[in-house]
Structure 1
């Protein structure tokens, strides 16, 4: 455990000794905090330098507005959106970008708030959903979406809630937001009492007025619309997101296809030949049953139009 994490955990536990509510008050800002962005790897710089860069403005977790850096390669009407994970950035998809462009897709990626070249220091899943909405307004329906890790969960939640994408791929993704809160508790080693207060604050902060936002922040409790093909890739040695999460996603989404790997971990899986080939095959395969258009009338309220 590094010094910053140990110090943060000690601060939460010290406050919790007075009251679990105080402990949660100290922990909550840490939950949305993102460390300084990782640099672009030298091997990925040529791909990123060829991107057409733009921005989209979204409300952000503070609802004050934040500009999100977007990247676009290729041309045509077949748009594939790539969503990176927590502490990631768009450049992690550089190898996949090259493969997709060579196959004739228009590829769009972004740096979420507090990530990569985008502004801010705090963010949460609602920002990914707002970016999806902004990109959909710009590009129309997506041919496919590929989400890594936290971005995979955001993609599942987004398409289940109204983002229109013919196909979905998740790579090393958690099945729901419950896992994220549980992992945060394990990292900072605070009590179950603080955890309960944290969940209350989480709902108040990000989903005011919602009785159970965890119902729609879950690919298990709210799967993809019928007819949206799903490929789930996950490494059995992933130390960040447990391999069992992939099984939960597949079990909840009828017809989903599982691609297990070995020896690739949480990040190297993004550039694996076997994964790249599977992603391309999935995105180019015909969709047998047209997907119904799901419309999100409000957080957690979904209606389906024929």
Structure 2
């Protein structure tokens, strides 16, 4: 498959993360119970990204409305008219990351719908999790009906998959740079905050007690086995420092009909804006379209 060589994105570590990284090892030495609580708190804590001028320009082009979901005001955006596509951003992501998708699909006569996850963008809250994200998707679907395709980046892809295990509202799903292996997620978080796996028992117990499910049951490689008749496209970058190349492999093993595309040099986030990825998404959609109602009838109240 063709691969695109570009410079891998460089990341700056925010001050708050530097403080957390300094603090974690010290707290672990004092009390694993306390560090376990810290682990849970920061695992679900969202550090809201600012809305810059480029983001604002894109968002201002959309029809906007606020929906009250699970007690939070959730900001929803709609670009264009026609058959609907749902775009779901990832953890500490932005709706504006889908700018190339929005440009392409609206030009082709589709409506693009997206929303800010809890604690992101203009939506309320400051902590969230995968289960809550999937619940938002299901509520958005109640508002707009079925979608021609759902596109999710990173956690947004897994949340979309989880939602589809509960209700089949689209026959096509594209997951971009989505983690599929629970241990990789935990290990990656440990590296980010400079914590150790000594905190895992507390964390896993908390998830079971508070969310009512085993943490590993949220693995994409397990969830994908629970969907049927969904045309799945996976996109991964070989230079992603957050999601290893093992992830598309296990997804393909769990769902053999899935199609996989690779890019190089884009990393975890820039892949969403890559034109070849957008083109692959459009080809995936138009290969054999579903028959859902045009969106102009569903957003008349916006």
**TM-score under structure 1 normalisation?**
0.83
Across the two proteins, how many residue pairs are aligned to each other? 277
d(CA) in 1 for partners of 2:184, 2:80: 36
d(CA) in 2 for partners of 1:88, 1:190: 23
1:58 partnered with 2:64: no
CA offset digits 1:149-196 (Å, max 9, x no partner): 111121122212325211000111111444322211222233332222
Root mean square deviation of aligned Cα? 2.0
Which secondary structure state, in structure 1, belongs to the residue aligned with residue 222 of structure 2?
coil
1:166 partnered with 2:171: yes
1:70 partnered with 2:76: yes
* 1:115 Cα deviation from its structure 2 partner: 0.7
Residues 234 and 261 in structure 1, CA contact (< 8 A), matched pair in contact too: yes
Residues 94 and 116 in structure 2, CA contact (< 8 A), matched pair in contact too: yes
Residues 11 and 26 in structure 1, CA contact (< 8 A), matched pair in contact too: no
Residues 24 and 201 in structure 1, CA contact (< 8 A), matched pair in contact too: no
Aligned with residue 263 of structure 1, among 255, 265, 269: 265
Q: Which residues in structure 2 correspond to 1:22-101 (within 5 Å)? A: 22-40=34-52, 42=54, 44-59=55-70, 65-76=71-82, 78-101=83-106
- Larger RCO, structures 1/2 (Cα 8 Å, 6+ apart): 2
| Aligned match of 2:285 | 283
CA offset digits 1:125-147 (Å, max 9, x no partner): 12211211111111111111000
* 1:236 Cα deviation from its structure 2 partner: 0.5
Q: Which residues in structure 2 correspond to 1:106-145 (within 5 Å)? A: 106-145=111-150
Greater helix share, 1 or 2? 2
Residues 219 and 252 in structure 1, CA contact (< 8 A), matched pair in contact too: no
Residues 84 and 150 in structure 1, CA contact (< 8 A), matched pair in contact too: yes
Residues 148 and 289 in structure 2, CA contact (< 8 A), matched pair in contact too: no
**TM-score under structure 2 normalisation?**
0.85
CA offset digits 1:99-147 (Å, max 9, x no partner): 1111221210011111111122211112211211111111111111000
| Aligned match of 1:304 | none
Aligned with residue 250 of structure 1, among 252, 257, 261: 252
d(CA) in 1 for partners of 2:165, 2:241: 27
d(CA) in 2 for partners of 1:100, 1:261: 21
1:21 partnered with 2:22: no
Which secondary structure state, in structure 1, belongs to the residue aligned with residue 220 of structure 2?
coil
d(CA) in 2 for partners of 1:147, 1:3: 29
Residues 136 and 163 in structure 1, CA contact (< 8 A), matched pair in contact too: no
| Aligned match of 1:297 | none
Which secondary structure state, in structure 2, belongs to the residue aligned with residue 185 of structure 1?
helix
| Aligned match of 1:179 | 184
Residues 75 and 104 in structure 1, CA contact (< 8 A), matched pair in contact too: yes
* 1:237 Cα deviation from its structure 2 partner: 0.7
| Aligned match of 2:297 | none
Residues 188 and 242 in structure 2, CA contact (< 8 A), matched pair in contact too: no
